[in-house]
Amino acid sequence: MPTPDDGPSLVLHARPDDLAAAPPLAFGPPPHPSSRRSGGHDPATAALVVGDPDRCAELMAAGLPTVYLHPAGAAPGDPDTADVSATIVSWQVPGWLTQSCSRARRFARSEIRVPNLAPPRRVRSAGGSGPAVQLTGGCPAPDQTVAALRAALLETGPAAGPIPVLTDLAAADWARLASRLGEFVFARVDVADWPRALRRADLLVAGPTLLATTFAQSASLPLRLLPAADIRQSRVREALGVLAGGPDDRPELIVTPDVWPVDTGGAGALGGATQLARQIRQLCLAPV
């Protein structure tokens, strides 16, 4: 068993193919300065599971107190959100998105809503290199994506170099999509290097996901939205249309940095990681 000097040992888990699930693990501050990630063989004190209810159920069955975080933008009634077995259940729903969760989608009293999970330090864009593209969390039909991307990139003017792209599309799928946009040069970027790419960008062209809004908000970049791929993206696009002051079905919908809420709850507009750390700390110090 870990000693008090060792600090709590934490299991951190997200689906490996879900890029939008990784930031809560990467951005979340530890619940204690000496906390450490469990290697899988050592006894653990608590766990944080993002978007994988089956793994969460396994850890709970093994007696490990677990914080479960639903996929970003999910709301009650969405697929795979019912009857999750966890000590604490959390939803990543910032205040500006709440209005798009209808009254039929009630959050349980015992469940906790947290705002955006974001990099611990803001990276304000200095601009100068043109657009960046983010295709994460699923894309609509290839024809629709190609047409929307081409229109957005042509309107922004020539880029200073290859256009950086963050995507969780399989390599072959991205290669096929990029080949249909042969008039542009792209460079695929890892998520760890994405804030650096945004520091040089003038605009983020992205699907309507919470991960894209988080990066745009933290970098103070204009966000041009691509078509929605599913119910969660449609919900985000609808809410962003309200923020931008117009209907969400505009093909050229752009959210400018000045419309983001200054604050969302006690933890701040980008303070979801702090709230998650508090939940984990609760389990480490006083398991329930």
* 253-264 pLDDT tens trace: 899 988 877 654
Q: Which pLDDT band holds residue 250 (cuts at 50, 70, 90)?
A: low
d(CA 245, CA 35): 44
Q: What is the pTM of this model?
A: 0.81
Higher pLDDT, 79 or 170: 170
**Contacts with 192 (C-beta within 8 Å, 6 or more apart), sequence order:** none
Residues 251, 228 contacting (CB under 8 angstroms): no
Higher pLDDT residue, 88 or 164? 164
Tokens for 189, please give them: 């970027």
Q: What is the pLDDT of residues 118-147, one digit of tens each?
A: 655 567 777 788 999 999 887 888 899 999
Confidence label for 105 from pLDDT (cuts 50, 70 and 90): low
**CA 248: distance to chain centroid?**
20
Q: How far apart are CA 207 and CA 136, in angstroms?
A: 7
Instruction: Round to whole Å and give the CA distance between 13 and 147.
Output: 36
SS3 14: strand
